[in-house]
Structure 1
Amino acid sequence: MQNTAFATQIRREVQRRRTFAIISHPDAGKTTLTEKLLLFGGAIHLAGSVKAKKASTHATSDWMEIERQRGISVTSSVMNFEYDGFSMNLLDTPGHQDFSEDTYRVLTAVDSALMVIDSVKGVETQTRKLMEVCRMRSTPIITFINKLDREGRTPLELLDDIEQNLGIECAPMSWPIGMGKSFQGVYDIRQGSIRFFRPEGNKSKRPREAVMIQGLDDPALDELIGEAADDLRNEIELLEGAGYPFDKERYLAGLQTPVFFGSAINNFGVRELLDGFAELAPAPKPRKAATREISPLEEQFSGVVFKVQANMDPAHRDRIAFVRICSGRFNRGMKLQNRRLGKSFKAANAIIFMAQDRTGVEEAWPGDVIGLPNHGSIRVGDTLYSDEPLEFPGIPHFAPDFFRRIILKDPFKAKQLEKGLTQLTEEGAIQYFRPLTGRDYILGAIGVLQFEIIAARLAGEYNVDVRYEHSPYYTVRWLNGGNKNALRRLTDLHSRAMVKDADDYLAMLFNSDWHLERTKEDWPDIEFADTRECVTCAH
């Protein structure tokens, strides 16, 4: 029987938590918005600009050296901050087009997402890809259309672009008055008020409260915004007649996105976005395990590892397992069971994150993300629990799109190379494969940028210099099937294309679509899987 006082406490803690990811195409302003959310949440006092690479302040969420050099996010950061009584767990995701499995893994750990759209460019390629990942889990999405201080596409065009290209209804919460040089502010549709845009001379400080007036029928409106008043009235009338009214159930089902407008670099619209997000975004929800659905309000602790990061602190060469708490309360020093290993351990040094900064945590609740330092025993997809044996669905590996053969410049550093690749593979940035008939490694990645990142990290973190050679391979498939004789014959016949991945699962490389399809036809007793779950693959 659950303790009544505890039941009240956990319900209160769960209801005030918002765990979300920020997604966008590169250069839409995601990192700037992330900083401004932290600024309004009081987590930082000075916002740096990702563009100012030579400045002393850098984007708070971009902590790796290569991110600071290139001005992009290439790994995911976790940031916790308080806002108006809510505990916000913000998970920043890679914005570059060559994002990795890390992005997918982060999106499995959140309850909702905040999508940033560039008002000048509208929906872009990366936005579509990220939307597809969100749709796989029916993730609720709130949209922030950014850069209203620049000349861009009209608001109606932008909404139509989102609806047509992303297949989701748009329900505007605010509406811009003008754009670029004529941008005057936004009309709050829900409150019937005007918030005026006042660009700050010093963009690093919090803005003053803007002036508001009530209602579109206020005669002062024409005096304040001139000819734009008639345009605003006409556009709102058009929205009311042909647009989508906000429907919270459709939003929570991932079918509709509330839309806010603003300019993150000028701090405009950020507070309204935060207020709306805190009000609308869902608290932690129940999660399906293998045996039953787990409520976040249950007393016993459970959590799932969705990310492993090596060398967050170069001085300690550590590995941090990021755990999304699914139920119960975490207490420092509590004993946890690892379902995969069948072993228990004491979680004595758990931490919470503020980008690269870390703080010891005494207790944490469902929706929170904690870090568990370890030496490789905890892996992505592991289920951790305190009492009842549970197993949450595993997080799959996807077949890479690009391949390179990695060449070690110093043959005496083979062990360091293997250690580095093993640890970096755990993060999900790349996958490595070792041919059954050779000693070289073949790296696979979702995007080609990952190869550059891995080479830089191997050199900087493991003191291993490598170069790449072109690989003729087009894709890889993991081999599943109960017919061991057929699998043995296939392996003997195509031994040069056979590889094992970092977890020792058997896979086959293909140099074309035709090669893949022909092999599948010739070997119907074998499944050629484009994703890998540890419990199903053949060794």
Structure 2
Amino acid sequence: MARTATRLLKYITNPSKKSLLHNNYSSGNVARAKVEKESWWKETMDKLRNIGISAHIDSGKTTLTERVLFYTGRIHEIHEVRGRDGVGAKMDSMDLEREKGITIQSAATYCTWKDYQVNIIDTPGHVDFTIEVERALRVLDGAILVLCSVGGVQSQSITVDRQMRRYGVPRLAFINKLDRMGADPWKVLNQARSKLRHHSAAVQVPIGLEEDFQGLVDLVQSKAYFFEGSSGETVVTSDIPTDMEALVAEKRRELIEVVSEVDDQLAEAFLADEPISPNDLEMAIRRATIAQKFVPVFMGSAFKNKGVQPLLDGVISYLPCPTEVSNYALDQTKDEEKVELSGTPAGPLVAIYEGVIRKGDYIINVNTGKKIKIPRLVRMHSNEMEDIQEAHAGQIVAVFGVDCASGDTFTDGSVKYTMTSMNVPEPVMSLAVSPVSKDSGGQFSKALNRFQREDPTFRVGLDPESGQTIISGMGELHLDIYVERIRREYKVDATVGKPRVNFRETVTQRAEFDYLHKKQSGGQGQYGRVCGYVEPLPPGSSTKFEFENMIIGQVIPSNFIPAIEKGFKEASNSGSLIGHPVENLRVVLTDGASHAVDSSELAFKLASIYAFRQNSDPKDLNQLNTGLDMCYAAAKPVILEPVMLVELKVPSEFQGPVTGDINKRKGLIVGNDQDGDDCIITTHVRLKFPLILYFDTFCHISMKS
């Protein structure tokens, strides 16, 4: 059929073939050829699944992915995340990931299961790398939420479920680690209903738990599965154990009841007390799952090689294909009007939600306007690549040699669409970094610029006061990983420390000054005398420094007054307590003296600086001080700490512990509001206390100075 369509295209574009086209292809035949071509890609799209695997850290995501790749034939040996053979899991391709036993970057792969192509993205579980989950869920059609049968619904489980909900991703839940001591899948199911607000029910019942975990009973098909072989590769189907028949009947009825609440077709059969066939129940679960009204719960133990194959069947049966989900773009030519994409290869290229992308094609980066040629197109299998010539909508591929940043949209130029943006949380921690060697400054800057483009949560800035290069991210581990990557990938050693906290100084009471600056040892000298007082500005003042001239007459010529103000401003840039700027300061000039020859702007500027600092110039042997040596000290200066306005959005159940921790750290709570099931706490906290390090695992934080 593809060859027929190609010949047809050639005839249409060749003028000498017009008569042949007229004779051999009537309008009906052309329409039929178009329909057949569409049927071809429709069948391909129907057998495509794009899924992500997300969970709290150490719930078994990467181990589960490793088993999926093994059972689908993509790999031929199973390696563990913390394996003793030094190989590590396939999806943890970075050396750092294998050393630390955690996933740092999302990794893509693909496999085939029962004639269905499944594209998988394995995402990190650690909260520091939450942007990787955001980025993956933004483009996926479905997801598997992995829950630990012992730990249950944990802090990051709440976060990734919120992310799935934000991007409208249908999902399955997989309760993992049923072989562990203390495993309780029914407790976890109840937690998912209460904490995650899932409308869910189990589609499987475990046969035994902990060390007695043997297999599973499928509630839809009413069959028992046992997993045999050295790696559980052989699935043996049998009848339901006799001692479990009552429990299975109860759980199947519960499953039908829960699905009936959100699916009208099943509800009619259920209320009419008609027998519900496995196919009817399966189709009802699929409709409810794709509509995001139901979350089917699977069970197993990835580490013990049990329950993975039925989970793959669940992905095929219950999660949508690319044409069953809605994706929207923003039309930049129509004031960002929302446009629904077809999700098929038939439309214009919007990589790659619509259209076809080919090696050698020219594509346009809509965000930058740059035209780029695609030199190489590949499908990823962790860090391995398979060259391909083209890819169509719904597939996940990688492009080489393309200059872009996270969130950019590419089209063929016929449309000017950008995809709706993903949510980017604000950084919560900062470090000061600098290269050990000055010669490596170029590579150091290159590394920081690249990481900023890859990771929107990684920020780089220069502190104007301290001159330090500040990197900011989602946590200590997040920043440590990037520092280590700079060392390994760019061969640049960096020193790391805490950023200098920018304190301030201020005065608390009025103090007078009377200072004479005089140099008259031959030639043109310097002469300037300033008298007055300093005092704190009134509370609520909009300015940080105020200068007022209250001199009556011309004891100091008016052309020298700006130099006096400039001198006091310069002096206040560094207080004598700890050397930080002085704020909320009012300087009043009441008197002074000048010399007809030796007075100058420089003389009065120096007189102002010395009057404020009372720091005599050792080279000025003729300098006379009138005795008010303690101007700044007499004003009783104090140090001001930076106080941040912190807004924490936490689940209501954590309100007590969070409030207690804020009080323990001497934070001042100024507001407490309710937002659905979440509590919003507003507090003033001193910057030097690492308040957010305790909370970043389960709350959203925003900070303002």
TM norm structure 1: 0.78
Partner of 1:418: 445
CA apart distance, 1:384 = 0.9
1:290-335 Cα offsets, whole Å, 9 max, x none, are: 132111125244345xxxxxxxxxxxxxxxxxxxx10112222222
Residue matched to 2:327: 287
- 1:492, CA displacement in angstroms? 12
Tell me, yes or no, if structure 1 residue 297 matches structure 2 residue 337.
no
Query: Matches of 1:473 and 1:176 in 2, distance apart?
Result: 55
Which residue of structure 1 aligns with residue 309 of structure 2? 271
Distance in 2, Cα, partners of 1:103 & 1:490: 44
Give the deviation of 1:238 after TM superposition: 5.7
Q: Which has the larger radius of gyration?
A: 2
Matched residues in 1 for 2:321 and 2:643: separation? 46
Alpha-carbon spacing, 1:230–1:39, altered in 2? closer, same or farther (3 Å): same
User: Structure 1 pair 453/403, CA: closer, same or farther in 2 (3 Å)?
Assistant: same
Find 1:340's aligned residue among 367, 370, 377: 367
2:290 and 2:543 mapped to 1: Cα distance? 47
Give the aligned partner of residue 435 of structure 1.
Answer: 463
Partner residue, 2:290: 252
8 Å Cα contact 1:28-1:116 kept in structure 2: yes
Task: Report whether the alignment pairs 1:18 with 2:49.
Answer: yes
In structure 1, list runs of 5 or more residues that go unmatched. Answer: 305-324, 475-488, 498-509, 519-529, 532-539
Residues 41-98 of structure 1, C-alpha deviations (whole Å, 9 max, x = no match): 211111100121x414310000111100011101110111222121111011112232
Q: 1:109, CA displacement in angstroms? A: 1.2
* 1:28 counterpart SS class: coil
Partner of 2:480: 452
Q: Closer, same or farther in 2 for the Cα pair 1:3/1:343, shift >3 Å?
A: farther
The residue number in structure 2 matching 1:35 is 66
1:382 paired with 2:408, answer yes
Residue type matched to 1:151 in 2?
M
Pairing 1:207–2:207 present: no
Q: In the TM superposition, what is the alpha-carbon distance from 1:183 to its structure 2 partner?
A: 2.1
Mapped partners of 1:371, 1:398: distance in 2: 26
CA distance in 2 between counterparts of 1:51 and 1:39 reads 17
Question: 1:57-456 maps to which residues of 2 (within 5 A)?
Answer: 57-198=87-228, 200=229, 202-203=230-231, 207-213=233-239, 221-222=241-242, 227-233=243-249, 235-236=251-252, 247-284=285-322, 285-291=325-331, 292-297=339-344, 299-304=346-351, 325-374=352-401, 377-386=403-412, 387-428=414-455, 430-436=458-464, 439-456=467-484
Is residue 467 of structure 1 aligned with residue 485 of structure 2? no
Shift in alpha-carbon separation, 1:287–1:405, aligned structure 2, 3 A: same
Cα deviation for residue 289 of structure 1 reads 1.2
Q: For residue 156 of structure 1, report the CA deviation from its aligned partner.
A: 2.3
What are the superposed Cα offsets for residues 361-407 of structure 1, whole Å, 9 maximum, x if unpaired? 112122212111226x2222211112322222234533111111113
SS at 2:398 equivalent:
strand
The amino acid that maps onto 2:137 is L
Write the letter of the residue equivalent to 2:52. A
1:513 paired with 2:645, answer yes
Check the 8 A contact 2:259/2:288 in 1, yes or no.
no
Answer whether contact 1:473 1:512 (CA < 8 A) is retained. Answer: no
Deviation at 1:440, TM superposition (A): 2.7
Quote the Cα distance in structure 2 between the aligned partners of 1:437 and 1:511.
17
Contact 1:382/1:394, CA 8 A, preserved across alignment: no
Q: Distance in 2 between matches of 1:74 and 1:388?
A: 35
Aligned counterparts, 1:46-57, within 5 A: 46-52=77-83, 54-57=84-87
Whole-angstrom CA distance in 1 between matches of 2:127 and 2:418:
33
- Per-residue deviation at 1:185? 1.8
Check the 8 A contact 2:146/2:175 in 1, yes or no: yes
Q: Distance in 2 between matches of 1:189 and 1:87?
A: 26
Distance 1:109 1:436 in 2: 39
Query: Which amino acid is 1:29 matched to?
Result: G
CA–CA distance in 1 between the matches of 2:169 and 2:127?
21
Determine helix, strand or coil for the equivalent of 1:271: helix
1:108 CA drift (Å): 0.5
Q: Offset of 1:229 from its aligned partner? A: 4.9
Q: Which amino acid aligns with 1:159?
A: L
Aligned counterparts of 2:36 and 2:364: Cα–Cα separation in 1: 26
Q: CA 1:514/1:93 → structure 2, altered by over 3 Å: closer, same or farther?
A: closer
Instruction: Output the amino acid matched with 2:54.
Output: I
**Structure 2 residue identity aligned to 1:212:** S
Task: Provide the C-alpha distance between the structure 1 equivalents of 2:198 and 2:409, rounded to a whole number of angstroms.
Answer: 33
Instruction: State the Cα distance separating 1:515 from its structure 2 match.
Output: 11
Does structure 2 conserve the Cα–Cα contact (< 8 Å) formed by 1:26 and 1:96?
yes
2:40 corresponds in structure 1 to: 9
Compare 28-37 and 98-107 and name the one that shifted more. 98-107
SS at match of 1:126: helix
State the shift of 1:10 in Å. 2.7
Q: Is the 8 A contact 1:79 1:353 kept in 2?
A: yes
Q: The residue matched to 1:116 in structure 2 has which SS?
A: strand
Q: How far apart, in 2, do the equivalents of 1:163 and 1:286 lie?
A: 26
Q: 1:113 to 1:135 in 2, by over 3 A?
A: same
The answer as to whether partners of 1:380 and 1:395 remain within 8 angstroms in 2 is: no
What secondary structure is seen at the aligned counterpart in 2 of 1:379? coil
Within 1, Cα distance between the matches of 2:350 and 2:489?
A: 29
Contact map agreement 1:407 1:467 (CA 8 A) in 2: yes
Q: CA deviation at 1:436?
A: 4.6
In the alignment, the residues of structure 2 paired with residue 237 and residue 407 of structure 1 have an alpha-carbon distance, to the nearest angstrom, of 63
| Counterpart position of 1:504 | none
Q: More relative contact order in 1 or in 2 (CA 8 Å, sep 6+)?
A: 1
Deviation digits for residues 249-286 of structure 1, max 9, x if unmatched? 44223342111111112322111111111121111133
Query: Which sits farther off after the overlay, 171-180 or 58-67?
Result: 171-180
- 8 Å contact from structure 2 (residues 49, 141) kept in 1: yes
- Aligned CA-pair RMSD: 3.2
Q: Is the Cα–Cα contact under 8 Å of residues 114 and 141 in structure 1 kept in the other structure? A: yes
8 Å Cα contact 1:14-1:296 kept in structure 2: no
Seen in structure 2, the aligned counterparts of structure 1 residues 177 and 165 have a Cα distance that, compared at 3 Å, is same
**Once the 2 structures are TM-superposed, how far is the Cα of residue 19 of structure 1 from its aligned partner?**
0.8
CA distance in 2, matches of 1:368, 1:275: 20
Report the Cα distance in structure 2 between the residues aligned to 1:459 and 1:491, rounded to whole angstroms: 42
Partner of 1:521: none
- TM score, norm. by length of structure 2: 0.60
C-alpha distance after superposition, 1:90-117 (max 9, x if no partner)? 0111122322422211110111111111
The 3-state SS of whatever aligns with 1:98 is: helix
Query: Which blocks of at least 5 consecutive residues in structure 2 are unaligned?
Result: 1-30, 262-283, 332-338, 503-541, 547-572, 574-579, 582-641, 649-668, 671-700
Whole-angstrom distance in 2 between the partners of 1:16 and 1:492? 69
Are the aligned partners of 1:472 and 1:511 in contact in 2 as well (CA < 8 Å)? no
